[in-house]
Structure 1
Amino acid sequence: MEHTSEGGGEAWAIATTLIRTAILNGVDLQAWLTDTLERMVTGEVRSTALDTLLPWTWRDARPAALAA
């Protein structure tokens, strides 16, 4: 018998939605996930600024970051 949880299903739905959104916005999925997770784990981005890591915001900020 397979064990599932409502919380696990909800977390998977959120992750899948973010991944599909990144793909639809033309974001390099591996680069986005790597950078986003690293910045969250290291505390570089506070919980009040997580919107800066959304795929379209992250993508738009990349040219400025690459030029710096």
Structure 2
Amino acid sequence: MKKEVEEESNQSSTNNNKNRVRVNNNFQLTINLGDSLNLLALIAGIYVIKNFTKKRKAKKANM
């Protein structure tokens, strides 16, 4: 019984647990101007096509 106690006491009881947590919270908002230009061109194209079809229908109605 004495041997068991000696063996247990020989074990070191120190814990060197190092929990390092590094958090990098970087918020990035990127605006791509190419996307907005494509959207603007799409809206302008729809507007032009609508006006063109309206004028064409008006010409056909007058004939």
Fold match by TM threshold 0.5: no
Determine which structure has the larger helix proportion and give its number.
Answer: 1
TM class by shorter-chain length? 0.3 to 0.5
Q: Does 1 or 2 have the higher relative contact order (CA < 8 Å, sep 6+)?
A: 1
When normalised by structure 2's length, the TM-score is 0.35
When normalised by structure 1's length, the TM-score is 0.33
Rg larger for: 2
